[in-house]
Amino acid sequence: MKSTTKKAIENHGFRVYGNNVMINGNLFPLPLVQGNTKLGTGVWHSSTLPTNKVITAVSPDGTTTTENGTCPTTCPGCYGTTGNYRYNSNKYIIMMRTRLLKNYPDIYFQLVSIQIENENIEKLRIHAVGDFLPGEALGFYNVLKKYPHVKAWTYTKCNVSGDIALLDTLPNCNVVKSIIPGCGFNYGHVAYIANLFYMLKRQGKKVYICRCGIDENQHCSNCNGCSNHEFVLFIEHSTGYNAKNDYGYQKIVELIENQKG
């Protein structure tokens, strides 16, 4: 956290401890986090608890606590749960971010604005994991409207209507549909993704296959696929499936390399 970020938060009347803010006697992590191994260091992201289940974590004082996941469904092989629920500390941090958003939405988006202004954020992925809580899409809409230089994108399995559709109208924010109407999830084995790509193309849709499926060094920080296309497709990961062993792997490599971005 930059010193200007800390000072701006304290000027709003909150005490800062490390990367946490004290609110009514409880410590909450800041809403936005910089990068990870997939996103790259140039992309900031928010997260809420993934999956449609009750999640249990242990707080630093040893208390067991629970919170509902935010997704409308539980996807097979969800990378959000396999990666973030492996360690209690990660699970607890995401749980507290979710609670901050649920219980103090006005403060949550004040902090988002402070981070954008003071951390020089230019790329933002809404939900590295998790899905929209009521009022969240409108909150991000109001923030991003003030910062048109920030390029943002998100994925959702919720219906793209109401506040989520409103968020999608912003020129600097793109909402990617994680469930393709009439088809299913936007991720799968290579044959499924190739067929889905050509079907959407025939319908005149803007569609892009993420390069992460063929390039381990690909990061969101040097790609605009998810911020520029209505549909983004992903080769399945985190389920034990290895695309390189698939009969159609070389064909999908050619398709990805030759697609028009």
Q: How far is CA 237 from CA 41, 82, 187, 210, in A?
A: 21, 11, 9, 12
Angle, helices 190-202 vs 249-258, to 10°: value is 40
Q: What is the DSSP letter of 42?
A: T
Q: Of all residues in the chain, what percent carry a pLDDT higher than 70?
A: 93
Q: What are the start-end ranges of the H helices in the chain?
A: 3-11, 79-84, 88-103, 105-118, 136-146, 162-168, 190-202, 225-228, 249-258
Measured at the alpha carbon of residue 25, what is the angle toward residues 95 and 101, in degrees to the nearest 5? Answer: 35
Backbone angles phi, psi at 195, to 5 degrees: -65, -40
Return the percent helix, strand and coil in the chain, to nearest 5.
40, 20, 40
Share of residues in the chain with pLDDT > 90 (%): 53
Smallest CA-to-CA distance from 28 within 127, 111, 118 is with 111
176 token code pair: 């990617």
Written as tens digits, the pLDDT of the chain (261 aa) is: 899 999 999 999 999 999 999 999 999 999 999 876 667 678 899 999 988 889 899 999 999 999 999 988 877 766 667 666 777 888 899 999 999 999 999 999 999 999 999 999 999 999 988 999 999 999 999 999 999 999 999 988 888 889 999 999 999 999 988 888 888 888 889 999 999 999 999 999 888 998 888 877 777 777 777 788 888 998 886 667 788 888 888 999 998 888 875
Entry pTM: 0.89
| pLDDT of 138 | 97
